[in-house]
Amino acid sequence: MLSEIPLPSLKFKHFKWTGNEVIYLLLVIGAVLVVLYGILAVPLILVLYLLSPLWGRLFPKAA
């Protein structure tokens, strides 16, 4: 899939918080949404994933 928007790959290089903040947030929020809404949470999780590049601005990578 080609996209101009840089989406996270959802791959763990390690299990530390640093560097995986967006992935962990997506997993936790997604799990909460599934518990609360069941199968209806899927569209919400997709929207969260598509908005995740904005989260990267909250957790900038150290240069």
For the chain, the structural domain boundaries read: 21-55
What per-residue confidence (pLDDT) applies to 28? Answer: 92
Of 24, 22, 23, 43, give the one whose Cα is nearest residue 33. Answer: 43
pLDDT along the chain (63 residues), means of 10: 70 78 84 94 89 70 53
This prediction's pTM? 0.67
Measured CA to CA, the distance from residue 7 to residue 52 in angstroms comes to: 7
